[in-house]
A and B are shown apart, each in its own frame.
Chain A
Amino acid sequence: MRERSIFAIVIVSMLLLVVGYLAATQLNLMPTQASTRAVLVDELFHVLVGTAAVVFVLVEGILVYAALRFRQRAGDETDAVPIHGNTTLELVWTAIPAMIVIAIGFYAYQVLTEIEKPAPEPMVVEVIGRQFIWQFRYPGEGVTAQELHLPVNQPIRFEITSGDVIHSFWVPQFRGKRDATPGRVSEFLVTPTEIGTFPVRCAELCGPGHANMTTQVIVESPADFQAWLAGQQ
C-alpha cells in the first residue's frame, strides 16, 4: 500500500512537472519578434524557461515540503537518524544536471551557428556610437543618419564601431546587441522581418548621457526605404 502510494505520488508529480514545463514554455516574456534571429533565440529561451520552471518547482517544492514535514516536534530534543550520504543518489544528482546543461549547451551552439550564418548578399550599414548619439552610414549611398532605416526581409550586416568610449548597439526586438568599441569594427547580422518602429538603445555605460543614448529603427517596405534613402541624398 505504502509503496503503491509513493509510486502514485511520483507519477502524479512527474505529470505535473511535464504540464509545468509545457505551461512555462508558453510564457510570453519577450518583446515583439522583429527579426529572423528573434524567432530562434526565443525558441531556445522558451526551452530554458520550461527547464528552469521544472528545476525551480522541484527544488523549492522539496525545500518547502521538507521544512513543513520534518519540523522538530515540541519537546523532542533527540537527534535525527544519521545518514551521511548515498552514493547512488549523489551520482544521480551529478549526472542529470550535467546531461541537462550539456544538452542546453549543444542546443545553444546550434542556435548560435544558425543566427550567425552569413547571408549571401547582405546590405552593409555602418553604426558609429558617440557620446551620446548613434550615427548610421549607408556606404555607397553617401547617406549618414541618426535614425536607422532598414528594408524589411533584407539581410543586414551591421559594422559597428565607436568614436570615443565603448557603447553597445541594441535593438531588443531584434534580440541582440554588439558592443561599439573604439579601434575595432564588430559585425552583427540581422534580417528584420516586421515592418514597424523599434527602439535602439545603448547597453554599455558610456557616461552621463548613457540613458538618453537612444534612437529608433524604422523597418519599412523596400519601396519606402528607397524613397527615404533618395530623400537623404
Chain B
Amino acid sequence: MSMSTEAVSPGRGWRRYFTWNTDHKVIGVQYLVTTFCFFLIGGLLAMLVRAELAQPGPDFLNGTEFNRFLTNHGSVMLFLWIIPVLAGFGNYLVPLMIGARDMAFPNMNALSFWLIPPAGLIMLASFFVGAAEAGWTAYAPLSIQTPVGQTLWAVSVIILGTSSLLGAVNFVTTVFTMRAEGMTFWRLPLFVWGMLATSLLVLLATPVLTAGLVLIAMDRMAGTLFFSASNGGDPILWQNMFWFYSHPAVYIMVLPAMGIVSEVYPVFSRKPIFGYKAIAMSSMAISILGLTVWAHHMFTSGMDPRLRIPYMISSMIIAVPTGIKIFSWLATIWDGKIRFTTPMLFALGFISMFLIGGITGIFLAAIPIDVHVHDTYFVVAHLHFVLFGGSVSAVYAGLYYWFPKITGRMYDERLGKVHFVANFVGTNLTYLPMFLAGLLGMPRRVSDYSPEFTTLNLLATLGAFLLGTSALPFIYNAVVSWVSGPKAAANPWRALTLEWQTDSPPPAENFHQPPVVNSGPYDYGQPMGVSGQAQAVPAVGD
C-alpha cells in the first residue's frame, strides 16, 4: 500500500527525523529522542546542584549561579522532559493502539513537536543573559525582579504549554473519532485511557498557567502590577494560577506513566489486567479530583484558613483511586507467570518507588505536618519519588518495552538489567536521605546548609552521581541496538494490543489492512488462544 494522502512525508531513513514530517511515528520518535536530550541536560544541572551540596559551605557556585542551575533543572525536567516525553509515547502509540492510520490532525501534530526545540533553546540560551533564578515555581514578586532570562523562561514555558495544548486537542479528537471498527471505549488499552485523562487535564489547566505567565511577562516588561503587593496587585494570585496548573501537572506527568506500566504487567505476567474498568475510571477520577487540590501547596501562605480543610480532604482522597491502581496491579501479577524482562523490572520498580511518593503525599496533605515540612527537603524527596521513582521508571519501562516496535530491533537484556539495578539503587540512595534532612530542618532550594545535615547530603550526592552514571548503559544499549541489534519480530512479547499486530517498525499506514477489533486488550489465558485484538486480520511480516 502506498502513502497516498500524506501531505509531507519524505520517505524513510534517518533524515526524515530532521524534517517537518506528519507521520505520528516519526513525530513520536522526534519527541522521544529530543526530550531525552533535555533529560540529560536536566540531569547534568542536577548533578551540578548536588555537587555543590555534597558538603556545607560555598564550593564552586555562588547563590545566584546555584539558583539558576536549580531553576532550570526543575523547568527542563518538567516542561522539556517528563511532560513531552509522555506526549511522545502518546504520539507513537495512540494511533497504533486504537487502529488508526495517524493522528486526527497530522500537521498540527508536527507543529506540537516543532515548538519544543525552539522553546528549549530559548530556555537554555537564557544562561547567556542571566537565566531564570526564581525556582520553577517563579513566585512573584521575586520573579518580577530577576534578570531578563526570567522573561525568556516565561516565553519558553508559554510555547511549551501551547505545544502541550495542541497535543491534547489532537489526542482527544483522535481517540474519539479515529478508533478502528470494534474498538469500543471499554476495549481501549489503559495507556490510551491515561492519555485521555491527561489530555483532559491539559485542556482545563494549561490555559490558566499560560495566562499567569503572560501577566508575569507584562509585570516584567510593561511595568504592570498584577502580582505586586502595592497598587492592588497580589503575589498570592500568581500562586493560585500557578498551582491550578502545576498540581494537575503532576497527574499529567503520572497518568500516562501509570498507563505504560498497565500495558507492561499483563504482558509479562501472561494474565489479564485485574480490574480493567476500575483502573480506567480511576484515571478519570484522579484527573477530575486533581483539579480540586491545588491550594495544598499554599497551606503556609496565610490563605483563608477555612479553605484549607477542603483542600486537605480532596488531596487525601486522591489516595483512594491511586490505591485502586496499585492493588489492581499487584492482583495482576499475583498468580501470573512473571518474566523479568527489563521493562517488567522497571514497571515493578515503579510500584515500589511510586508507593513511597504516594504515602508521603498524605503527610504533606495533613496540614499540621505540612506546615513543618512544606518547602523542605521532605518535599524534594516526595516529588522525586513520584516523578523519578514513578514517572521516569515508567518511561524507561516504556522505552524498553516498545523499543522492538519502534526500531525493529531488540535491545540487550543484560545491559538493560544493569541499568535497572543502578537506577533503582541510585534513586533510593539519592532521595531517601532527603526525607530525614527535611524533617530535621533543612529547607529546600538552599545553596548551603548547617553542618548537621552533611552526612545526609553526601549520601544524596553519591546517589545522584550513581543515577547520572546509570544512564550510560541505557544510552549505549539504545544506540548500539538501534544500529545493529538483532532484528525484532512483529510481536516479540506475544502481546495482544493492536500495536503489536503489525510489523516492527510499522509501515507508514500502520496496518496493511484496517484492523477489526473483536476482543479486549488483555485477554490472556483464553482457552481458544486469542492471538490479539485484531484477530480477524493476522499480522503481516512475522
Give chain A's interface residues, CB within 8 Å of chain B: 29-31, 37, 40-41, 44-45, 48, 52, 55-56, 59-60, 62-63, 66-67, 70-73, 76, 78-86, 89-90, 93-94, 97-98, 101-102, 104-105, 108-109, 111-112, 115-116, 160, 164-166, 168, 170, 172-173, 175-179, 181-184, 186-187, 199, 201-212, 214
Please state if B362 and A101 are interface contacts (CB–CB under 8 Å). yes
A197 to nearest B CB, angstroms? Answer: 13
Pick the contact of A101: B63, B145, B278, B317 (CB < 8 A). Answer: B317
A134 to nearest B CB, angstroms? Answer: 14
B375 CB within 8 Å of chain A: yes
Which chain A residue shows the least CB distance to B62? A208
B275 CB within 8 Å of chain A: yes
- Residues of A near B336 (CB, < 8 A) are 66, 70, 80
Chain B residues 476-503 with CB under 8 Å of chain A are none
A/B interface sample: 27 pairs, CB < 8 A: A29-B436, A30-B439, A44-B369, A55-B359, A59-B351, A60-B352, A66-B338, A67-B348, A76-B337, A82-B526, A89-B327, A94-B278, A97-B320, A101-B317, A108-B368, A109-B312, A165-B141, A166-B235, A170-B443, A172-B372, A173-B441, A175-B372, A182-B235, A199-B450, A203-B300, A210-B445, A211-B446
Cα distance A189–B302 in the bound complex, in angstroms: 12
- Residues of A near B326 (CB, < 8 A) are 59
- Supplied contacts A59-B355, A70-B333, A112-B367, 17 more A-B pairs, CB within 8 Å: A56-B356, A70-B338, A79-B337, A80-B525, A102-B316, A104-B366, A109-B309, A115-B368, A160-B302, A165-B142, A170-B443, A172-B440, A176-B371, A178-B302, A181-B302, A205-B135, A207-B63
B404 CB within 8 Å of chain A: no
Cα distance A9–B160 in the bound complex, in angstroms: 53
B177 CB within 8 Å of chain A: no
Which chain B residue shows the least CB distance to A165? B142
Cα distance A166–B278 in the bound complex, in angstroms: 43
Cα distance A37–B371 in the bound complex, in angstroms: 11
Pick the contact of B524: A82, A166, A202, A204 (CB < 8 A). Answer: A82
- Residues of B near A30 (CB, < 8 A) are 439-440
- Residues of A near B308 (CB, < 8 A) are 112
Stretch at the interface among B78-86, B162-170, B266-274, B532-540: B266-274
- Residues of B near A79 (CB, < 8 A) are 270-271, 337, 524-526
- Residues of A near B67 (CB, < 8 A) are 205, 207-208, 210
Please state if B316 and A105 are interface contacts (CB–CB under 8 Å). yes
B490 to nearest A CB, angstroms? Answer: 17
Give chain B's interface residues, CB within 8 Å of chain A: 62-64, 66-67, 133-135, 137, 139, 141-142, 145, 229-230, 234-236, 269-272, 274-278, 300-302, 305, 308-309, 312-313, 316-317, 319-320, 323-324, 326-328, 330-331, 333-340, 348, 351-352, 355-356, 359-360, 362-363, 366-369, 371-372, 374-376, 436, 439-441, 443-450, 523-526
Cα distance A79–B532 in the bound complex, in angstroms: 13
Cα distance A186–B371 in the bound complex, in angstroms: 13
- Residues of A near B524 (CB, < 8 A) are 79-80, 82
Which chain A residue shows the least CB distance to B232? A183
Please state if A56 and B441 are interface contacts (CB–CB under 8 Å). no
Given A83-B271, A164-B141, also A208-B443 (CB < 8 A): no
Cα distance A86–B360 in the bound complex, in angstroms: 29
Please state if B300 and A168 are interface contacts (CB–CB under 8 Å). yes
Given A48-B363, A209-B63, A211-B448, also A41-B368 (CB < 8 A): yes
